[in-house]
Structures are given as C-alpha cells and as structure tokens.
Amino acid sequence: MSKTKVVYLVSGSRHTVPPNKNSPGVPRIIEILSANDTASIDYKVLSKYDDSLKLKDYNRSKYLHIKPTLWNRFFEKILHYVPMKTKKNIFGYALEDRIVYYEGIKRHISRKKPDVVITFMHFELFKKLCKIHPNAKHIYFFRSTDLMMRLGDENIDFLLKNSSGFLANTKSPIDELKALSPNLNFPTETIYNSVNLNDFSDKISDDLSTQYRKKYNLTPDDFVIGYAGRLSEEKSILELFEAVRYLKNKGCNIHLLIAGSLEIETTPNVHYYNEIVNFAKENLSNQVHFLGWLPNEKLYEFYNALDIGVLLSKYSEGNSMFLLESLSMGTPMIATSIGGNLEMITDGENGFLIETENVKENLIQKLEIIISNKTQLNQMSINALNYIKQHHTNDIMVDKFNNFMQNFEE
C-alpha cells in the first residue's frame, strides 16, 4: 500500500487562505482545490496570515500561515534601509513584506519537506522552493497569459528543467509552452477560475435589480453598463466614458456603475483616477456612479442591476473573476479580444469581443447593436449563464484538478 502524499499549495499572492471578504480570485481557487483530499493525497495550504482569521472557523491543520513574529518585524525594518537594487539582486524582488513572507515560506517548506509543492503566482518563489527542497515534485501554477513575455528565456529554461507539472488558468500559456518544448515530459492542465452557482445564479432577481437601481435613481428601463476592477488606464475606463458621452449626445439613456477603489490597489494611478472622475463630472453628470470597493458577498446585487458588463483591458487579461461572475448572473460582457477573454466570450453569443485598437469606436458599435435589440440581449443573458454551467463551475474545475493530480499519486 502506497503512503499518503503530502501536497502543499503555496500562495505567492499575499492574500490569506481561507479567503476573507477582501480576497481576489487566487485564494478562492486555492481553497476550492485544496478541499478534496483523497486516499493517497493530503492537501495543505500555505499562505500569509491575516488578522481576519482570528474569528474564522477553519481547519488549522490544513490551512497553514506565515505569521508575523518579532523576527519578521525586525527583518522587515532592516530591509527598509536596504537599497532597492540590492534587495532585487539578493531576493529577485524588492517589496519588503513579500521578502519576509517568501523567506518564511522557504523555512516552512525546508522543515516540512512535502512530497509535492504547487506554487501559485510568483515565479521567483517557485525557483526558490525548487532549490530549497529539490527532492519534491514541483508544479508551477501560472496565473496570466503571454508566458514567454512574462517569464523570459532563462526562467522558461528553469521551468522546463525543474518542473514536474504545469498548470495555468487559461489555455494559451500551455499551448505556448508546448510550442517552445514539443517533447514536453510533464503533465499540464488548464484550471480556470470558477464560480459556485449557488453564490450567484440562484440570486438572479428582477426585484433585486429594481431595488438596487433605485439606490442610484435608475429605472428598470435605463440601460446600465457595469465594470468592477482596477481604476487604471490599462482598463480603458476613459474610452468607456467617451463612448457613453457620444451615445448620450445621440439620445441614448445610459448609466454606468463602476466598482473599485484606489485604496486596495497595489500601484494606484491617482492622476488617471482624477482624470476619469473629472471627465464624468463635466460630461456625464448623474450618469456615472462610483460605488467604491464591493465585498464579494455583495457583488451579486451589483451584477443584478446590470444590462451588460465591460472588461476593456488593453494589454493583457487572464481569467477574470469579474467576467465569470457576471456571466454566471446572466450578464453578458463586452470584452477586448485578448488573453483569457478570447476563451470565455463567443462574439454575439454570450457577449461581444472588440479589438484593442480604437476601443471607443468599437465599443460604440457594439453598444448601439445591443441597446436597440432587447431580444438579442435577453438571449445573450441566457447563453451567458448556460456557458458557466457547462464550463466553469467549481465541480468541473475540481474534477480537472483531481485528474491532473493522479499523475502524482504513485
């Protein structure tokens, strides 16, 4: 009888697992995947400690944390006086809390010596864990698109030589890796972000939509566009506002609900935020509603109020939780035709795809089509929910992950 393998899911994201109300998609997918121990695999999760865990009831033998200690605090203070270039040369990154967190992960993995380590997000952490515990089987979970552009030749070479498996949350990085190494000798799998339909689709409600719209003096007949995410130039928010101004001048009654906050962004662009706020005040008075940051458990109210969502990333986009959750509430999406958007949206069925060149003009064209065709919008709404049911539930992703992990059971 083979012994039970200990598999660590290590979060390179500095968000805690189990997730709290501030958590993005990574902690949630880690929690979902780690909750499925088998006769031959015992999953553990290693993430950063957060004070919200004090009042949370969770399995403390499964969910382990790098906790703040006197030594950690002292180390972080010392790092504050070390030049950024020196920190980058020594550790591969310069953020002090990341250095402290990752050094804590290294000590833990070196001490516990698990059989398999799955590293999420940060490739420098993957490299360090491969070196600190070379006897383990190491799997890298890539959480973006454009593999070569993000990792580079040297890191790709390290991945091919040291990895026992490769996971990604879109198909394109796996296709890229196989093109770079046609004789790839380790298993790969796409594990998309996923939704628990009970959290969202069972809360689809016309009454709730009406109630939420009333908060912003909107009627059921108003056409409402929604966006949730970073308030950055890369998300084409100004182009969105310009498109709505154009349609407003043509007599279209459109409102925008914008969910997001600079306070929780890692690198907030204050200048751009002020630019879009001022544009809204001058050109779209009473049409743009800034909602601030919304906790995950409240997002279903936001999705209910929308006719359509927009995700207008210019440069890259992985597997957006905003996109998936919107679709799961029957809200079609208009998205730029890049990255993971191309894998989620079928143009004209559950949303529209537009090119990143001339975002404003392309967006205007799609909005004019859908505003004038309520029947098509209703069918796209039905298609959106059906797409999630068929491709992106938690159960579907857990099954794919379990099948992948069978490669490591013996």
Of 306, 219, 224, 302, nearest in space to 259 by CA? 302
| Same domain flag for 53 and 151 | yes
- Which pLDDT belongs to residue 44? 97
End-to-end CA distance of the chain: 10
377 in Cβ contact with 309 (< 8 Å): no
Tell me how far apart the alpha carbons of residues 160 and 177 are, in angstroms, rounded to a whole number.
9
| Same domain flag for 120 and 227 | no
Average pLDDT along the chain, 410 residues, taken 10 residues at a time? 85 90 83 92 95 91 91 83 84 83 94 97 94 97 91 96 96 95 95 86 87 93 95 96 96 94 87 96 95 89 95 92 94 95 95 95 96 94 95 94 91
| Same domain flag for 189 and 212 | no
Of 164, 169, 203, nearest in space to 185 by CA? 164
Q: What is the DSSP letter of 69?
A: -
| Same domain flag for 38 and 166 | yes
- Which pLDDT belongs to residue 324? 94
If you compute the radius of gyration of the chain from its CA atoms, what whole number of angstroms results? Answer: 22
Tell me how far apart the alpha carbons of residues 322 and 228 are, in angstroms, rounded to a whole number.
6
- Which pLDDT belongs to residue 74? 83
| Same domain flag for 212 and 88 | no
| Same domain flag for 329 and 206 | yes
Of 189, 159, 157, nearest in space to 171 by CA? 189
| Same domain flag for 92 and 180 | yes
For residue 224, give the 3-state DSSP assignment: strand
Question: In the block, which residue shows the tokens 């069978």?
Answer: 406
144 in Cβ contact with 316 (< 8 Å): yes
Domain residues for the domain of 18 are: 5-193+393-408
| Same domain flag for 143 and 118 | yes
Residue type, 341: N
| Same domain flag for 217 and 169 | no
The CATH number of residue 49's host domain is 3.40.50.11930
| Same domain flag for 204 and 175 | no
- Which pLDDT belongs to residue 2? 61
Q: Where are the beta strands (DSSP E) in 181-250?
A: 188-190, 223-228
Residue 373 neighbours by CB distance under 10 Å: 12
Whole-structure pTM value:
0.90
- Which pLDDT belongs to residue 3? 75
What is the arrangement of strands in the sheet containing 165-168, beginning at the earlier edge strand? 63-66, 41-48, 5-11, 116-120, 137-142, 165-168, 188-190
Residue 119 neighbours by CB distance under 10 Å: 28
DSSP-based helix, strand, coil % in the chain, nearest 5 = 50, 15, 35
User: Which two three-digit tokens encode residue 293?
Assistant: 């940051």
| Same domain flag for 291 and 359 | yes
In total, how many domains does the chain have?
2
The CATH number of residue 260's host domain is 3.40.50.2000
User: Which two three-digit tokens encode residue 224?
Assistant: 């409402």
Tell me how far apart the alpha carbons of residues 268 and 257 are, in angstroms, rounded to a whole number.
20
| Same domain flag for 403 and 387 | no
User: Which two three-digit tokens encode residue 176?
Assistant: 């890229």
